[in-house]
A and B are shown apart, each in its own frame.
Chain A
């Protein structure tokens, strides 16, 4: 009975190629269309396409192809990113929104490690984003190079986050949710009350300068000009890709298994030898680091930060992204971030009614798709012998 080494057929590549191409096209369309009717039609087509794709197994085929051909996936993503850049080359706002989506998505990848893998509730995502932003705003004028600033933003988030380690480690479930929720609120009140950090008026920042390249310059390649906002989009894209890959490795490694075990059954996990605290600290730290780095980038990009950018409501937005994307699925945060960040912006035309509509939409999604847009798939640590 030699069933063990049966070699599984690798999934076909083409669904992946089509999916990436369509996503890039949809993204460009969504961002550049401003006319309400066309936008409505486009949204309808995209939504219908997604539902049909899910119904006929295209999503699963895409995921399988992505898992089987990581290299192809990476190449396709790079190509798609270039296509998006070309498509939006003169659209400052589109590029700004893409960057914002990428920043939110990356923070949410960090939250996925915390909430989706290790099961640590974190209702202070925006606060950790803010810590990174404030680090950049305070240290930038002191002459710290910008690249170091991003890293310091991450470290600052980790250091401040470590103050919360004790409550996070000792409590579970809703009690842990309260610890981060309370932190999120007190962070905001503290910034408002405090004058050293600019108070409620906030702080201004200089734009990013990386290796002598000023991010306010337009990019000119072979006579073609791409808006300067593309600088931030590219940097954010690289960071997102790095976070995505790192998280993918975490998921497809023992660490991923241990984090899942910690989330699913602390007692069993500890009985079999896991140090629960150690893995919770690891997850919390990595997630906060992501948020801090992206916060520094966010501050650099908007050129201005104020306490009202990092409220409990914003943390809630991030949690919505994680859950809507399909908790624990790192790919899910991309479309979810796109929806959650872009939709209110695209709903500008209904003005004061947009939050009402947005909240109703989130509730509908929660009731209709409790597993989120892309449900987390089973981890298969099955590697063919080389």
Chain B
């Protein structure tokens, strides 16, 4: 029984990170109908910015809590800039191109980001140790090991999802985002600054990636240049399975994917090689059963 709880806890943490990534995909898709595959590598950029921030701030001898704040600020800022730059220089000029071109372009952009870190970050090909900033250890309750840092991170992950949701539902900026998502032509005629809204939305989505990147580093204590690719694939899968354009769908998809992976290892440890086979088969089965996602897009096609 204790093991079951332990697995659930692990799955929750993984799912939170997947969900955060998937949320980015879904936000971008919502406003511009694009899949931005470089999202995972923007996350990696954030994580590397975070590690530079730790090195710098600990070099300056700042207290731990201030280091943590700088870590998140640096990660979010760098990701926001990277995401906004990609949107401005690459996605906007191609926005009328076929979706396939966009998909390929963002995948290639991801490769560029990845290779840039690998080649130009000092010792970039190797895994980087992310210093431990959060309280080490945890509680042992009936055989379940509850990590303090894990709890903090799950809580802050969920909080950030809630904040993004609040921004989109309750602020003026959020209103503009929703208007553009609904019908960009009409939104423009109603005086919404289209390109500014797009830019800010991409910045917002990328901030969540940076946040997730910093979380990732803090939780796993290790980052590497290639971590964004698999995260992007999983995040994309989660966003699609959940239903593109729907934040709750993305979160649901993220937890579902983590749950599937964990389930295989827990239920049949000797089959652990096959866990991604199983997870992706489930993904295919789910989109076959619900071709527009678990929480379907509401838009009916006008005929």
| Touching chains A and B, CB distance < 8 Å | yes
Please report the C-alpha to C-alpha distance between residue A121 and residue B35 in the assembled complex, in whole angstroms: 14
The reply on A212 being an interface residue by CB < 8 A is: no
Q: Provided the pairs A186-B281, A267-B303, A366-B101 are in contact, do residues A178 and B93 lie with their beta carbons within 8 angstroms?
A: no
Q: CB distance B284 to A164 under 8 Å? A: yes
Is B112's beta carbon under 8 Å from chain A?
Answer: yes
Secondary structure type dominating chain B contacts: helix
**What DSSP secondary structure best describes chain A's contact surface?**
helix
- CB of B184 within 8 A of chain A? no
Residue A171 lies at the interface, judged by CB distance under 8 Å to chain B: yes
Residue A316 at the B interface, CB < 8 A? yes
Is A57 positioned at the interface, with any CB of B under 8 Å from its CB? no
CB-nearest residue of chain A to B302: A267
A 179-203 to B, binary, CB cutoff 8 A, 1 in contact else 0: 1011101100110110000000000
A357 and chain B: residue at smallest CB distance = B115
A182 to B283, CA, bound (A): 7
Does A8 belong to the interface (CB within 8 Å)?
A: no
Q: Is the CB of A355 within 8 A of B104?
A: no
A360: chain B residues within 8 A (beta carbon): 112
B62 interfacial contact with A, CB 8 Å: no
Which chain A residue shows the least CB distance to B34?
A174
State A362–B105 Cα separation when bound (angstroms). 8
CA distance A167 to B285 in the complex (A): 7
Q: State whether B274 touches A190 (Cβ < 8 A).
A: yes
Contact in complex: A182, B280 (CB < 8 Å):
yes
Contact-residue size bin, chain A (C-beta under 8 Å from the other chain): 35 or more
Q: How large is the interface on B (under 10, 10 to 19, 20 to 34, 35 or more residues)?
A: 35 or more
B142 partner residues in chain A, CB cutoff 8 A: none
Q: Does A367 interact with chain B (Cβ within 8 Å)?
A: yes
Judging by beta carbons under 8 Å apart, are B101 and A171 in contact? no
B-side contacts of A185, CB under 8 Å: 233, 276, 280
CA distance A174 to B237 in the complex (A): 10
Selected contact of B100 from candidates A121, A192, A353, CB within 8 Å: A121
Question: In the bound complex, how far is the Cα of B94 from the Cα of A182, in angstroms?
Answer: 26
| A337 proximal to B (CB < 8 A) | no
- In chain A between 281 and 309, which residues have their CB closer than 8 angstroms to a CB of chain B? none
Q: Which of B12-20, B187-195, B286-294 contacts A (4 or more CB under 8 A)?
A: B286-294
Please measure, in the bound complex, the distance between the C-alpha atom of A190 and the C-alpha atom of B274, giving whole angstroms. 7
Check A186–B287 contact: CB distance below 8 A.
Answer: no
B119–A353 touching, CB < 8 Å: yes
Q: Which residue of B lies closest to A356 (CB)?
A: B115
In contact, B284 and A323 (Cβ under 8 angstroms): no
Of the candidates A115, A183, A323, A363, the one whose C-beta lies within 8 Å of that of B90 is A363
- Contact, CB under 8 Å: B90 / A193: no
**Cβ contacts B259-290/A at 8 Å (1 or 0 each):** 00000000000000110110011011101100
A267 close to B301 (CB less than 8 A): yes
Please encode chain A, from 147 to 190, with 1 for each CB lying within 8 Å of some chain B CB and 0 for all others. 00000000000000000101100111111011101110110011
Q: Tell me the B73-131 residues at the A interface (CB within 8 Å).
A: 90, 93-94, 97-101, 103-105, 107-109, 111-112, 115-116, 119
Q: Which residue of chain A has the shortest Cβ distance to B102 in the bound complex?
A: A366
| Chain B: minimal CB distance from A190 (Å) | 5
Asked if A186 contacts B105 (CB within 8 A), the reply is no
Distance to closest chain B CB from A366 (angstroms): 5
Q: Assess whether B161 is interfacial by the CB under 8 Å rule.
A: no
**A7 near B: Cβ within 8 Å?**
no
**Is B295 an interface position by the 8 A CB rule?**
no
Q: How far is the CB of B73 from chain A (nearest CB, A)?
A: 29
Beta-carbon contact of B288 and A193 below 8 Å: no
A-B pairs with beta carbons under 8 Å apart, 12 shown: A167-B285, A170-B291, A175-B287, A178-B236, A178-B237, A178-B241, A185-B276, A186-B276, A186-B281, A355-B111, A356-B116, A362-B108
Binding site for A on B (CB under 8 A): 29, 35, 90, 93-94, 97-101, 103-105, 107-109, 111-112, 115-116, 119, 233, 236-237, 240-241, 244, 273-274, 276-277, 280-281, 283-285, 287-288, 291-293, 301, 303
If A175-B244, A189-B277 are given as contacts, then 11 extra A-B residue pairs at C-beta distance below 8 Å, sorted by A number, are A170-B288, A174-B240, A175-B240, A175-B292, A181-B236, A193-B274, A267-B301, A316-B104, A359-B115, A366-B104, A367-B93
